[in-house]
Amino acid sequence: MRPAALDWSVENCTIARAMEVLGERWTLVVLREVFTGVRRFDDMRVRTGIPRQVLTNRLATLVEQGVLSREPYREPGSRLRHEYRLTEKGLDLWPVLVAVLGWGDRYLADAEGSPLSVAHRDCGAPVRVELRCADGHEVGQARDVVPRPGPGARRRTP
């Protein structure tokens, strides 16, 4: 049986476009750091072991794409430097990081568990990603979803 997805083009796919911004190995690591409060270049480099030029490039891309902003700061007696803050666009990636964390915890964690957990500030309960349709029904499995062309889909020409 021929999949219906073959009838529409994916050349303007937003997943592919998002991966142009997020798809490099170190990008989600940089975002993890900023989400956990590590906002300064040297702190990120030392904590993660990301090579200096790679970190420079990742931060530049995230700033250029509007995911992070560069904010100036100056320690007493030091030169002006910049730290990186999440923009609204960056904050919208939080569920993506929680989903990747959950997947990693399930399939890749060491025997003693993950070195990072996330909890609800108010009650302390663990946070996880749940999918729901627009009518509020829980979507528990990939098989509960039907892919179909979106409003920007283009009919594929043979």
Which residue do the tokens 């964390």 mark?
Answer: 101
On whether residue 136 sits in a domain, the answer given is no
The rounded mean pLDDT for the chain is: 93
pLDDT in tens, 74-88: 999 999 999 999 999
On whether residue 37 sits in a domain, the answer given is yes
What does the pLDDT read at residue 35? 97
Gap between the Cα atoms of 26 and 51, Å rounded: 10
pLDDT in tens, 29-69: 999 999 999 999 999 999 999 999 999 999 999 999 999 99
- What is the share, in percent, of the chain residues with pLDDT greater than 90? 80
Contact 79, 56 (CB under 8 A): no
Max Cα–Cα distance, the chain, nearest Å? 70
> What total number of domains does the chain contain?
1
Containing structural domain, residue 23: 4-87
On whether residue 15 sits in a domain, the answer given is yes
Residue 3 — pLDDT band, cuts 50, 70, 90? confident
Q: Count Cβ neighbours within 10 Å for each residue of 100-127 and write b for 16 or more, e otherwise.
A: ebbeeeeeeeeeeeeeeebeeeeeeeee
Tokens of 56: 């420079």
What does the pLDDT read at residue 5? 83
pTM summary value: 0.86
Task: Supply the CATH number for residue 32's domain.
Answer: 1.10.10.10
On whether residue 53 sits in a domain, the answer given is yes
**158: pLDDT strictly greater than 80:** no
On whether residue 44 sits in a domain, the answer given is yes
Q: Shortest CA distance to 4 belongs to which of 141, 143, 142, 146?
A: 146
On whether residue 71 sits in a domain, the answer given is yes
On whether residue 145 sits in a domain, the answer given is no
pLDDT in tens, 112-134: 999 999 999 999 999 999 999 99
What does the pLDDT read at residue 100? 96
What does the pLDDT read at residue 61? 97
On whether residue 146 sits in a domain, the answer given is no
